[in-house]
Amino acid sequence: MLSRENSQTVIFLFLGALNILLYLLVFVAAILKAKDGKLAEIIQSVYCMLISIFLAMNEFKTFNFSDVYLGFLGLHVGKGLVMLFLGCAVMCENAYNIIVAILGFTIGLGYIIVSFVPLAPLPADLHTLWKIRRRPEDISDLPCQFYTPKKADPFPLIQHPSFLPATTVHPMHLSPHY
């Protein structure tokens, strides 16, 4: 019998594979949209292809870049909104694109609904989930959340005051010199 954590891991492994399948379907739909499209549709399709390739690779193993600067991909609502966006972006009068758009809308809305479940763990990449599935005893500090995304520094080029050396200021330096 599967434990709660083990069953969650299996479900999220399935969802990760479903995400990758959707990203590949979006890639093909973007190619079909660009084939008969005008310049604006071709540029939009190129962006959809690049985004779907990035998201498929990110689904296998999360990049540090996406953890820091695209933290919404580590939340259910963020994944749902990205899938809704991709579904809207590949929508056209082609039957295949309509089916892919409906799949994107359905999975995106599913993720948004899951984001309202209070005990749902954060989504993780397939590498992390497979590690949890293969050796659950090695990962003892992740019972409810698979991982926590790293915080982005809002001003990466400016040093934080805690990194500056501590100095003392003499009170005479604060008084105005007339």
pTM greater than 0.85 (yes/no): no
Token look-up 């992390």 returns: 128
Q: How many domains does the chain have?
A: 1
What is the Cα–Cα distance from 41 to 30, expressed in whole angstroms? 9
Is 166 inside any structural domain?
Answer: no
In a domain, 144, yes or no: no
**What pLDDT score does 60 carry?**
87
- Contact in structure between 51 and 27 (CB atoms under 8 Å): no
Rounded (5°) CA angle 95-97-48: 165
* pLDDT one-digit tens code per residue, 128-148: 878 877 775 555 444 344 444
pLDDT of 159 above 60: no
In a domain, 159, yes or no: no
CA atoms within 13 A on the CB side of 161: 1
**pLDDT value for 6:** 73
Which residue range forms the structural domain that includes residue 90?
Answer: 4-134
- Does 14 map to a domain? yes
Closest CA to 85 of 36, 22, 21: 22
